[in-house]
Amino acid sequence: MEFVLVLFFVIGLAIRLSSVLISRRHEAVLRRGGAVEHGALNTKLLALAHGLFYLACLGEGIARHAQFDKVSLAGLVIYAGAIGMLVWIVQLLGPLWTVKLMIARKHVLNRHWLFRKVRHPNYFLNILPELVGFALLFHAYLTLVVGLPIYLVFLVIRIRQEEAAMQHLFSAET
């Protein structure tokens, strides 16, 4: 496998770890304000699935002797767009953004046009494209075909948990 792909793995890992650090800072502030966490077990399973997906992509890239080519470039473009969306979503949600499902005591729905037009943009415009892009970057087709559906099970559970936890906020908006 080319060194540039190993470098992209390290950069991707650093990006994800920095997002976890941001999340932890936000979580601490939310908890001090009385926020409640929902779906803790599923959050742990999502984190595990995310980490294993990254490692599987790297492993498959090594096994395939992946080279940086047009497929990798397409994956990098998709991945970069997904990370751009993550940065934007974190900015839009501010201290409400965490990797955990936290509902603040006085939680207010974000009415930015992105959240009105795209339901769960963090999942559909960040996480899913991130995983697809990362898999393509490493030519990790098996990981994409097997790992993504497994990840989707936990993501669907997360979406349902989030909507249930926020139901009182949705009803207050109508």
Share of the chain above pLDDT 70, in %: 97
A 10 A CB-CB count for 84 gives: 13
Which residues does 89 contact at the CB level (< 8 Å), separation at least 6? 97, 114, 121, 122, 125, 126
The 10s digit of each residue's pLDDT in 12-48 is 999 999 999 999 999 999 999 999 999 999 999 999 9
Q: Taking 80 as the threshold, does the pLDDT of residue 138 lie above it?
A: yes
Residue of 112, 132, 124, 113 whose CA lies nearest to 156:
124
Structural domain harbouring 146: 3-173
The CATH number of the domain where 12 resides is what? 1.20.120.1630
Site of tokens 């959050």:
43
Phi, psi of 96 (to 5 degrees): -80, -15
Residue of 61, 53, 84 whose CA lies nearest to 137:
61
**Dist CA 120 CA 101 (whole Å):** 13
Domains contained in the chain, number:
1
Sign of the CA dihedral 98, 85, 92, 162? Answer: negative
Q: What pTM does this model have?
A: 0.94
Sign of the CA dihedral 143, 146, 149, 151? Answer: negative
Q: Taking 50 as the threshold, does the pLDDT of residue 174 lie above it?
A: no
Mean pLDDT on 140-157: 98
